[in-house]
Chain A
Amino acid sequence: MSRTILELKHVSKHFKLTGIRNRGKTVQAMDDVSFSLAQGESLALVGESGSGKTTTASVIARIYERTSGEILLDGKPIRPFRNRAEALEYKKRVQMVFQDPFASLNPTHTIRAIMERPFLIHGLAKDHTELERKLVESLEQVGLSPAPEYLRRFPHELSGGQRQRVNIARTFAVEPMIVLADEPTSMLDVSIRLGIMNMMLDLKEKKGVSYLYITHDLAGARYMSSRIAVMYAGMIMEIGPTDEVIGNAIHPYVQLLKASAPAPEQERSHSNLQAKGEIPSLVSPPSGCRFRTRCPFAKQACAAEIPALRDIGGGHLVRCIRA
């Protein structure tokens, strides 16, 4: 096993609500999240909207600072940035790809202006010729060639898939250790998605980066990652090797997710698991297990306390009292 480059220990993020009626209330968007990421590894974070996937990535990218818990990058605990240099150093190592390729590129800038920024901000090019060479290299490795042609264009002149390629090129420009990919293909057309996914897999091989790949699609997670963590209502419910989590799902929520995914190979209504109810409020989450309000197996003990994330062997951990 290669070395661990990112570790989260019981990390939580609670957002304070404002306004007279909500004074003192918080949204517990991310609670007691622990996992580690090895060098060159891809971990998928799966869950429905509102499950805390994006919050987790944002806390790791330090767009938000965590409320409690500890994050270790390359073995060293992170602490508040003391100056801009520290912030830049962190952001050079941890990069994020955003979901919406239409919103994440400034529409008034050319691709050249957008792509130059990481090199200029982080001082990665000595002179003009080196900058030019790196710009061309960056775009060509994401399949945008001839690069000079793309550098001239504006974001609106590119398709969604091409824009997402620019986003990925920008992310890789600073040679990060960790790429946090927040549903990078969910807003793209079906025929474009696989091209982006394959390109990301190739880049990972070539650069040896680690991915935290966020998605709501279990099959996509399987394609992209060797390990999967499933989140529900701000908490990790099950985490482990991809084949274990998909082939041998223990948590009732993960079983429900599996049963809900389209299964063209199977006959209709193959599951007796009922998909009822919706994700609970994170301002006042249910006591005990957060899934118990929808769980077909819930019993009284589930309301008593939050179950611990328990290791059932082989790096497969489950947060359920039945496990």
Chain B
Amino acid sequence: MAEQPLLRIEHLNAGYATKAGFVRAVDDVSFSLAKGEFLGIAGESGCGKSTLAYTIMRLLRDNAKIESGNIFFDGVDLAGLDDAAMNAYRWTRMAMVFQSAMNALNPVLSIEDQLVDAVLAHKNVPKSQAREMAVQMLELVDINADRIKSFPHQLSGGMRQRVMIAMALLLRPDLLIMDEPTTALDVVVQRSILQKIQELRLKFGFSVIFITHDLSLLVEISDSLAIMYAGKLCEYGPSRALYAGPRHPYTRALMDSFPALTGPQKRMTGIAGQAPGLINPPPGCRFAPRCSEAEARCSQDVPHLVWTENGRACACVHCAQGITPNAPTPRHARGSK
């Protein structure tokens, strides 16, 4: 409890300048991540979850910018760092596994060259030691050292994704951000990769931010869950509690979008309509036009994320009811004014 969180994001706003206007893909997002915590971020495409990841890593494209807010990583505000200072964090302290391992690896370089390159770019060690580190890391992700001379096309999709994970963990970062790392893979391969990540996390103690659209997967593997919709955080909380008692209508609708493998066979409803554009988002609650519980006030007042007991938060006028004003300060709100 007393321990400082590894990552604390406060009122972060970021987005892209486009011809049609500014797309604020991350809108007033705040949360914190403890050391060793596994946070899952779920939401549909275009909800800003990948932009959030790229913003934390400060890997935004040229037309994108952080408008305001803070990203405290181990006490330092990354949002205010220049590129040179940021480079000291990237890969050594925080690393990322990108969505498509097929495209993220260089097809004309061997796995060895790419892994050694990653070490040498961030750490001043002799090449032989870098190679030693690469071999060790590959073995940790169950890739035999004799595959190190292979080129990406000689490996299967699952192996390529494991190489990406090995590359991200080479310098033992404190934070691993994974952007839909298993989306292109089959369930069986996906399962083996998730098992591997959990195993390595217990071994090295790093924190994970895991981004996916597959909510049921997140509930199973993560400690906490953040649900994003149209650039905003709409619900946050411990995974099990959130799954057992979702409060935001969007979370409930999202859960009702995945057929289950067990339980009674019933017709599900899903979510009608489409997510709004972010250049001119609807006034009030952004989910209101698709929400089955929307009232007149929902399209006028913007609901704020309200923290309640047990580290849970929800941004909906309906969740705000029934909270006593003298509720204990939630863990995640502590420290932020």
A264 touches B220 (CB 8 A): yes
CB-CB under 8 A from B156, the residues of chain A are: 278
Identify which of B45, B195, B216 contacts A262 (C-beta below 8 A): B216
Contact A48 to B243, CB < 8 A, known contacts A191-B270, A263-B261:
no
Q: Which A residues touch B216, using CB under 8 A?
A: 262-264
CB distance from A268 to the nearest CB of B (A): 6
User: 5 A-B Cβ contacts within 8 A?
Assistant: A49-B186, A191-B254, A193-B257, A194-B256, A259-B191
Interface residues of A (CB under 8 A from B): 48-49, 159, 161, 189-195, 197-198, 201, 216-220, 222-223, 246, 256-266, 268-269, 274-276, 278
Are the C-beta atoms of B188 and A256 separated by less than 8 Å?
A: yes
The reply to whether A264 and B243 contact each other, CB–CB distance below 8 Å, is yes
CB of A149, distance to nearest CB on chain B (Å): 16
Whether A222 lies near B261 (C-beta < 8 A) is yes
Which of A194, A218, A261 is B257 in contact with, Cβ under 8 Å?
A194
Chain B residues with CB under 8 Å of chain A are: 44-45, 156, 158, 186-192, 195, 198, 213-217, 219-221, 243, 253-254, 256-262, 265, 267-272, 274-275
B261 & A260 in contact (Cβ 8 Å cutoff): no
Cβ of A25 to closest chain B Cβ, rounded Å: 18
**Alpha-carbon distance A146/B221, docked complex (angstroms):** 44
Q: Is the CB of A222 within 8 A of B45?
A: no
Docked pose: A260 CA to B191 CA in angstroms: 5
Residue of A with least CB distance to B213? A190
Across the two chains, which residue of chain A brings its CB closest to B158?
A278
With a cutoff of 8 Å between Cβ atoms, the chain B residues found around residue A217 in the complex are 187
A158–B296 alpha-carbon span in the complex (Å): 30
How many whole Å from A242's CB to the nearest CB in chain B? 8
A276 adjacent to B186 (CB under 8 Å): no
B261 touches A48 (CB 8 A): no
Q: Which of A159, A222, A257 contacts B187 (CB 8 A)?
A: A257
Q: Which of B190, B215, B254, B259 contacts A223 (CB 8 A)?
A: B259
**How far apart are the CA atoms of A276 and B192 in the complex, in Å?**
7
Residues A48 and B220 in contact, CB atoms below 8 Å apart? no
CA distance A50 to B258 in the complex (A): 24
Q: Which residue of B lies closest to A160 (CB)?
A: B45
- Establish whether residues B259 and A220, one from each chain, have CB atoms under 8 Å apart when the complex forms: yes
Q: Contact between B259 and A219 (Cβ–Cβ < 8 Å)?
A: yes
Please report the C-alpha to C-alpha distance between residue A79 and residue B257 in the assembled complex, in whole angstroms. 43
**Known A189-B213, A191-B253, A219-B259; contact A263-B220, beta-carbon cutoff 8 A:** yes
Query: In the complex the two chains form, is B187's CB within 8 Å of A260's CB?
Result: yes
The 5 nearest A-B residue pairs measured at CB: A194-B270, A223-B259, A264-B219, A48-B186, A260-B191
Do A275 and B261 contact each other (CB < 8 Å), given the known contacts A189-B44, A189-B45, A193-B270? no
B189 touches A275 (CB 8 A): yes
The listed residue (A193, A194, A275) touching B195 by CB distance below 8 A is A275
Are A275 and B220 interface neighbours, CB within 8 A?
A: no
Output the nearest chain B residue to A243 by Cβ-Cβ distance.
B265
**Set of chain B residues within 8 Å of A262, measured between Cβ atoms:** 214, 216-217, 219-220
Docked-complex contact A198 and B220, CB < 8 angstroms:
no
Please, which residue of chain A has its CB at the minimum distance from the CB of B262? A265
Q: Which residue of A lies closest to B159 (CB)?
A: A278
**Closest A residue by C-beta to B267:** A198
Give bound CA distance, A194 to B254, whole Å: 10
B267 CB contacts on chain A under 8 angstroms = 198, 201
A278: chain B residues at CB < 8 Å are 156, 158, 189
Whether A246 and B261, one on each chain, are in contact in the complex, defined by CB atoms closer than 8 angstroms, is: yes
Is A219 within 8 A of B258, CB to CB? yes
Neighbouring B residues of A275 by C-beta, 8 Å: 188-189, 191-192, 195
Which chain B residue shows the least CB distance to A258?
B261
Considering the complex, give the chain B residue whose CB is closest to the CB of A46. Answer: B187
With a 10 A CB-CB cut-off, give which of B44, B195, B270 has the most chain A CB atoms. Answer: B270
Most chain B beta-carbon contacts within 10 A, residue among A216, A266, A275: A275
Q: Which residues of A contact B270 (CB under 8 A)?
A: 191, 193-195, 198
Nearest A residue to B219 via CB reads: A264
- A232 to chain B minimum Cβ distance, whole angstroms, is 10
Instruction: Find chain A residues with CB under 8 A from B269 CB.
Output: 194
For A265, give the chain B residue with the smallest CB separation.
B262
Q: What is the bound-complex CA distance between A190 and B189, given in angstroms?
A: 21
